[in-house]
Amino acid sequence: MAEFLSLHDAVARYVEDGATVAMEGFTHLIPFAAGHEVIRQKKRDLTLIRMTPDLIYDQLIGAGCAKKVIFSWGGNPGVGSLHRLRDAVEKGWPRRIEILEHSHAAMACAFEAGAAGLPLAVLRGYVGSELPNVNDQIKFIECPFTGERLAAVPAVRPDVSIVHAQKADRKGNVLVEGIVGVQKEAVLAAARSIVTVEEIVEDMTAEPDYHPNACIIPGWAIDAIAVAEKGALPSYAHGYYPRNNRFYKEWDAIARDRDAFTAWIEENVMNAGGNA
Amino acid sequence: MAEFLSLHDAVARYVEDGATVAMEGFTHLIPFAAGHEVIRQKKRDLTLIRMTPDLIYDQLIGAGCAKKVIFSWGGNPGVGSLHRLRDAVEKGWPRRIEILEHSHAAMACAFEAGAAGLPLAVLRGYVGSELPNVNDQIKFIECPFTGERLAAVPAVRPDVSIVHAQKADRKGNVLVEGIVGVQKEAVLAAARSIVTVEEIVEDMTAEPDYHPNACIIPGWAIDAIAVAEKGALPSYAHGYYPRNNRFYKEWDAIARDRDAFTAWIEENVMNAGGNA
Amino acid sequence: MSIEYTSSEMMTVTAARALENGMTCFVGIGLPSEAANLARLTHAPDVVLIYESGTLQTKPDVLPLSIGDGELAESALTTVAVPEMFRYWLQGGKISVGFLGTAQIDRYANLNTTLIGDYHDPKVRLPGGGGAPEIATNAGEVFITLKHSKRAFVKDVDFVTTLGFGRDGKGRDGVPNIGKGPTRVITDLCVMKPDPETKELTVVSLHPGVSREDVIEATGWEIRFAGELESTPEPSAKELDILRELKARTERQHAGE
Amino acid sequence: MSIEYTSSEMMTVTAARALENGMTCFVGIGLPSEAANLARLTHAPDVVLIYESGTLQTKPDVLPLSIGDGELAESALTTVAVPEMFRYWLQGGKISVGFLGTAQIDRYANLNTTLIGDYHDPKVRLPGGGGAPEIATNAGEVFITLKHSKRAFVKDVDFVTTLGFGRDGKGRDGVPNIGKGPTRVITDLCVMKPDPETKELTVVSLHPGVSREDVIEATGWEIRFAGELESTPEPSAKELDILRELKARTERQHAGE
């Protein structure tokens, strides 16, 4: 049952050192505010799962929170590399991290399987790719009906998933709208979940834009809800604010340099209280 | 690419004798008008797939269209048995039909797998049930990661799927709203699809109740669209008309008796032109 | 007691009381649906009712005739596709209790909704499994409610559509990721629970005015009784009022077109 | 010709022309997205553009910077969850053409977006596979567009992230339910197609003003040329106008916060 907590308390209670954490949001609704709180609380040895690690994981990796990253596309979309991810992988700064990489199709299916309570996802995937050579979590099974060889990957089952959404109501029901990504799957697949939202409304079903098939996650399937206004910036929230594309471009220069990065984190995360 | 046809022409073109046909609609939006057209055109030897064969399949079976039914729950919801289904299974009238039965979970997963282009669906199902003893399409596989025994069923891949929906626009994009069942999966899983709709609107995305995550099937994923006003009656169409519960109850008496049934079909289907 | 009530009402009220506020209940149509909605309208306003048609957290004003009545979608928090319902919500482990009816039940609480007689030459063809086979194994626990009769309560079901505890009571032993199974069976005569060891259904509570003999006579095997046999509490006036209003509303609505 | 254009524009226009009206195109970010939207704004108004973020049939007014920009959802017919996108729409066989970019490509059109150097001690770590591995096998066919250079066009990719025709050209032989694979590669110098037999990429058309030597010099293997080498038609004034307007609109929008 969703409990309304401050972002500080939600992260303090549910994100433990060494935990497997999925922060999702496919380009849209990326939980930056929550990620910054994880950095401020100096969480360590996290296994970070995310289809598209972008700036938020670059920041967590550069800040030394991660020991392992499971992903399928790690870049600054439309801009270039994640320099902190590369520095960690290529040079081991601030620590060496392990990576386990998939394709998007496999990750998406693995989240789906996690939500569906299955141990594995089966897909027609990885044909001819060399990813199975470097990821021992990719296996192949034979269809008992057709004999076709299909790929299998383990379901994603994080200790805690963190997502950002447009709004929650007083009962803790959460609306995700627009590009919904794998957020619902991430929440349902996880043992615990934190959802940050732009605002709290009285009753979701009484909202003027209520729709009978809207993507609503019921409050009883969520552990903690925290209000984090503009909590997805520099990513965006459909219906609330646009993506700060300029910051995404600026990040390239900040992240290229260890000192510039460290200064940025100090100023904009560590010393920003709960406001970053 | 969706072509706008009369219901007669759509059924004549895409439903061939001997075909495997899925008419879906989970209690809601059941394509009765299309089913009646199939009866009028005296289609024969159909393999009929449907999670919940209710009155529509009772009518098709009684009219002699079916040679096989694949289903997971065959009854008159809240009322009792499907007497035509029982008469065919128990007494072979008007012809003996073969049945292949699943659980809802397996059928739902099989439709999902069909839509997903996979040959099989994997689920945690049929544990302790004797259904696998009488359905040789239920197999078991071992998870390569955990060793857990999981059920596998073949994907549903009909020759043609027929569903009813609220509306289509001029480009053939179709909105399904409310209880969406497995309609989208049925359409995507099939080689061909016919969608009957209550009405045609200009542009789906310009409708006043448009929603960014609405269940819309694009026109290019559909073969034929036919207008069939009240085409789901005695089932219902969310936002258009309610279920005719009284008819569902009356059906029990009609279907109990072969002659009463035959007379009903003559009067209400065969002699009703395109209006039943 | 001066309150009058029928044995059906006694059954429904007792079944309703089994549900607790905050449970997420996957609801079967018919008696389970009646009991679950009564619970929601009385002591458990926050019980979450889920129907296999995809309607999540629904609050129908009248009882649905079918598992997918419009009322269910209109009063739901949201409605999801049926594959999602079975995959994410049921198999995904979000359901605390599955509430089922059945045509036949045996001493190990196995359920038969497939057929009477031989599978390939049935005496009576029943509707089939529907959601039950996976509800019974993927929900945290299962409540069952049906009328007591020798035809329904048989020593061995003709067909195990849905697992209770298997033909030998050991059907869940060692199976990973499986729910507790049937934890109580509520009839118009009594409440039964599986014996903690053997899993055989045992009467733990008799409804007021019902004798051991009544139960023995309506059960197709040598039914056992718990050492400390309880007497089921009677329905309250409020419960009966609400139940009767609910049924009257339902009847009025279903009589119309 | 009096129209002036850059080699990048030539590439984009040529890539755009590869798309036909009515195709359903799974669009990669960057150059493919630019070309696909140019096609939609010129000769193929009904080309269906699909982005892996779940946006179905989208018509962005400006080019997205990321694969999931708000513009994509706002101009889409509908937006589905990412698992559905990969399962129902891509793997389900609804995509006629996947349009991809890449960091490295080899003579058998295998793509590398994973890393340069050794996997466990990379010289350069690239973003990874993303949607490409399954787009390349589940779409009906694949178009690839990237700038021509020796660094990009290598004899053998350091890592096969995404199957072209395998390290020996036979990677699709006998594989059930697999698309045709790369059918053309469009660069700023030329158009290449796989040889029907060997599957080795072969230049079939040179862009105006480009010589064989230019291509040879920019390719990391002994590139072959088709017997009947065509000259790629030049961009039209209308295509260039629309492309430039599109890029200008995009730049203005992305410069703002």
Predicted confidence (pLDDT) per residue in A176-188, tens digit: 999 999 999 999 9
pLDDT at D69: 87
Q: Which residue of B has its CA nearest to C63?
A: B78
pLDDT tens-digit readout, B75-133: 998 889 999 999 999 899 999 999 999 999 999 999 999 999 999 999 999 999 999 99
pLDDT > 70 in chain B, percent: 99
CB contact under 8 A, A204 and C77: yes
Q: Is A251 helix (H, G, I), strand (E, B) or coil?
A: helix
Whether the pLDDT of residue C207 is over 50: the answer is: yes
pLDDT tens-digit readout, D102-155: 999 999 999 999 999 999 888 999 999 999 999 999 999 999 999 999 999 999
Residue type, A123: L
Instruction: Name which of A185, A111, A220, B178 is nearest C80 in CA terms.
Output: B178
At D254, is the pLDDT very low, low, confident or very high (cuts 50, 70, 90)? confident
| Best to test chain A binding among C77, C82, C135 (most A CBs inside 10 Å) | C77
At C113, is the pLDDT very low, low, confident or very high (cuts 50, 70, 90)? very high
pLDDT at C256: 65
Whether the pLDDT of residue B260 is over 50: the answer is: yes
Instruction: Say what the ipTM of the complex is.
Output: 0.97
Average pLDDT over residues C38-62: 97
Q: Which residue of B has its CA nearest to D93?
A: B117
- Which residue is catalytic, options C9, C20, C34, C52? C52
| Best to test chain A binding among D134, D162, D253 (most A CBs inside 10 Å) | D134
Average pLDDT over residues B158-183: 98
**Token pair of A170, please?**
């007083």
* Strand bridging mode B46-50 / B20-23: parallel
pLDDT tens-digit readout, B55-74: 999 999 999 999 999 999 99
The Cα of C44 is separated from the nearest Cα of chain A by a number of Å equal to 15
At B276, is the pLDDT very low, low, confident or very high (cuts 50, 70, 90)? very low
- DSSP letter for A127, please: T
Phi-psi category of D7—alpha, beta or left, where left has phi over 0 and alpha has psi -120 to 50? Answer: alpha
Q: CB contact, 8 Å: A148 with chain B?
A: yes
Active site residue D52: yes
Average pLDDT over residues C46-57: 97
At B154, is the pLDDT very low, low, confident or very high (cuts 50, 70, 90)? very high
For residues B109 and B124, what is the distance between their CA atoms, to the nearest angstrom? Answer: 11
For residues D158 and D166, what is the distance between their CA atoms, to the nearest angstrom? Answer: 13
Q: CB contact, 8 Å: B263 with chain C?
A: no
Whether the pLDDT of residue B262 is over 80: the answer is: yes
**Are A175 and A165 in contact, with CB atoms under 8 Å apart?**
yes
For residues A47 and A52, what is the distance between their CA atoms, to the nearest angstrom? Answer: 15
For residues D147 and D155, what is the distance between their CA atoms, to the nearest angstrom? Answer: 16
Exposure string of C45-57, with b = 16+ CB inside 10 Å and e = fewer, is: eebbbbbbbbbbb
Q: Which residues of C touch A112 (CB under 8 A)?
A: 87
**Token pair of A265, please?**
């984190």
Instruction: Name which of C25, C70, C179, C126 is nearest B72 in CA terms.
Output: C126
Max CA pair span of chain A: 59
At B25, is the pLDDT very low, low, confident or very high (cuts 50, 70, 90)? very high
**Are A144 and B152 in contact, with CB atoms under 8 Å apart?**
yes
At C66, is the pLDDT very low, low, confident or very high (cuts 50, 70, 90)? confident
pLDDT at B100: 97
pLDDT tens-digit readout, C217-242: 999 999 999 999 999 999 999 999 99
**Token pair of C180, please?**
């507790």
Instruction: Name which of C144, C143, C136, C141 is nearest C180 in CA terms.
Output: C141
Q: Is B37 helix (H, G, I), strand (E, B) or coil?
A: helix
The predicted model scores a pTM of 0.98
Phi-psi category of D141—alpha, beta or left, where left has phi over 0 and alpha has psi -120 to 50? Answer: beta
**Token pair of D231, please?**
């000259």
Whether the pLDDT of residue C257 is over 80: the answer is: no
Q: Which residues of D touch A51 (CB under 8 A)?
A: 82
Q: Between B1 and A99, where is the model more confident?
A: A99
Nearest to B238 among C70, C114, C256 (CB): C70
Subunit partners of chain B (3 or more CB pairs within 8 A): A, C, D
Q: Which residues pair with B120 in a beta bridge?
A: B154
For residues D113 and D159, what is the distance between their CA atoms, to the nearest angstrom? Answer: 8
Instruction: Name which of B28, B23, B54, B53 is nearest B38 in CA terms.
Output: B23
The Cα of A73 is separated from the nearest Cα of chain D by a number of Å equal to 5
Average pLDDT over residues D189-193: 98
Write the CA distances from C203 to B106, C14, C212, C219, C223, integer angstroms: 34, 14, 9, 11, 8
**Are D247 and D63 in contact, with CB atoms under 8 Å apart?**
yes
pLDDT tens digits for chain A (276 residues)?
899 999 999 999 999 999 999 999 999 999 999 999 999 999 999 999 999 999 999 999 999 999 999 999 999 988 899 999 999 998 999 999 999 999 999 999 999 999 999 999 999 999 999 999 999 999 999 999 999 999 999 999 999 999 999 999 999 999 999 999 999 999 999 999 999 999 999 999 999 999 999 999 999 999 999 999 999 999 999 999 999 989 999 999 999 999 999 999 999 999 986 554
pLDDT at A276: 47
**Are A44 and A65 in contact, with CB atoms under 8 Å apart?**
yes
Residues 128-147 of A with CB under 8 A from B: 137, 139, 141, 143-146
Tell me which H or E stretch contains D239.
helix D237-255
Give the CA angle between residues A217, D78, D84 to the nearest 5°: 60
Q: Which residues of A touch C138 (CB under 8 A)?
A: 117
pLDDT tens-digit readout, C118-160: 998 889 999 999 999 999 999 999 999 999 999 999 999 999 9
* B257-260: long-range contacts, CB 8 A cutoff, minimum separation 24: B258/B87, B258/B93
pLDDT > 90 in chain C, percent: 90
- Which residue is catalytic, options D9, D34, D52, D239? D52
For residues C35 and B114, what is the distance between their CA atoms, to the nearest angstrom? Answer: 36
Residues 198-217 of B with CB under 8 A from C: 215
Q: Which residues of D touch A103 (CB under 8 A)?
A: 129-134
CB contact under 8 A, D253 and A245: yes
Average pLDDT over residues D200-210: 98
CB contact under 8 A, C78 and A1: no
For residues B214 and B173, what is the distance between their CA atoms, to the nearest angstrom? Answer: 12
CB contact under 8 A, B127 and C175: yes
Residue C209: partners with Cβ closer than 8 Å, 6 or more residues away: none
